Amino acid sequence: MPSARDFLSLVVFAHTVFALPFALLSAVLAAGGVPDGRTLLWILVAMVGARSAAMSFNRIVDRRIDAKNPRTARSEIPAGVVSPAAAALFCAGSAALFVLAAAQLNRLCLVLSPVALAIVLGYSYAKRVTPFAHLFLGLALAIAPVGAWVAVTGAFALPPVLLGFAVLFWVAGFDVIYSLQDEEFDRAEGLRSIPARFGAARALQIARLFHGATLVLLYAVFLAVSGGWLFGAAVVVAGLFLVRQHRLVSPGDLSRVDAAFFTANGWLSVAVFVLGAADVLLR
């Protein structure tokens, strides 16, 4: 019988640090301060539900591929720690939790919840279709700040869309870097990724372009919300972390991919949230 820890490991719960801070920043921007406790609670529940559904679904869909890949062969489903049936039940429960949270927020969130689920679940098939699946993953995380804004205001607006696109290119860029580890495996298995299609050197160039777009879009958010110096500092700090992760990895040295992937990006998202939210709260 899988434990709660097994399911948290299945969905790599620690990686929630990537999208959650941007969703919370969007909520703070939408509210012009701290959102009310009930709204904030259901945003958090929606985030956990959507991400858990997406990750468990991805593990189910990719279980045979993961079993062949030395990097993932010891993950929960290939290793027999969590059965596909148990993962499917967990996925269904997580998706239901997300829809419930959306219903508790407002009507627009509920109406859009099937669209959001289609995006976050659909990513699992993208690398079978296009080498630009990294952008699809970025889209799956990009809906978090847009959804958080809609949760607070019940409407769309320009700032969360710009922030969503910033997240899209940020995620796509670091996913390209992370997928360098599977370049040869993906090519041998007929899976599509930017490294498998273009090679490591050109993949890193594309990742830099994605991250350059991230900074431009973060600056556009700064302008759209009339940000102060703290928000400006958030954009600068994001740039420093992006430069840092690209300095950690080269086509001939992937030994520090984990530091580039998790550490640099985890700190980037937290720093942008803290500085951006402080900018709003201290006005």
What is the DSSP secondary-structure string of 67-119? HHSTTTTTSTTTTTSS-HHHHHHHHHHHHHHHHHHHHHH-HHHHHHHHHHHHH
Q: pLDDT band for position 17 (50/70/90)?
A: confident
**Chain centroid to CA 178:** 13
Residue 5 has pLDDT above 90, yes or no: no
* CATH fold of the domain at 4-281: Tetracycline Repressor; domain 2 (1.10.357)
Tens-place pLDDT, residues 150-207:
999 999 999 999 999 999 999 999 999 999 999 999 999 999 999 999 999 999 999 9
pLDDT of 10 reads: 78
Residue 86 has pLDDT above 90, yes or no: yes
Helix axis angle for 20-31 and 158-179, nearest 10°, is 170
DSSP 12: T
**Mean pLDDT value of segment 127-149:** 95
pLDDT of 6 reads: 73
**Mean pLDDT value of segment 242-258:** 87
Tens-place pLDDT, residues 199-246:
999 999 999 999 999 999 999 999 999 999 999 999 999 999 999 999
The alpha helices in the chain, defined as continuous H runs, are 4-10, 20-31, 37-61, 63-68, 84-105, 107-126, 133-153, 158-179, 183-189, 194-198, 200-224, 229-248, 257-258, 264-281
**Mean pLDDT value of segment 98-108:** 98
Q: pLDDT band for position 12 (50/70/90)?
A: confident
Residue 4 has pLDDT above 90, yes or no: no
**Mean pLDDT value of segment 112-135:** 94
Model-wide pTM > 0.85: yes
Q: With pLDDT > 90 as the criterion, what percentage of the chain qualifies? A: 81
Tens-place pLDDT, residues 33-59:
999 999 999 999 999 999 999 999 999
Q: Where are the domains of the chain?
A: 4-281
Q: Highest mean pLDDT: which of 73-82, 240-249, 250-259, 272-281?
A: 272-281
Q: pLDDT band for position 283 (50/70/90)?
A: confident
- The CA-atom distances, in angstroms, between 61 and each of 67, 100, 143, 205 are 12, 24, 22, 30
Q: pLDDT band for position 63 (50/70/90)?
A: very high
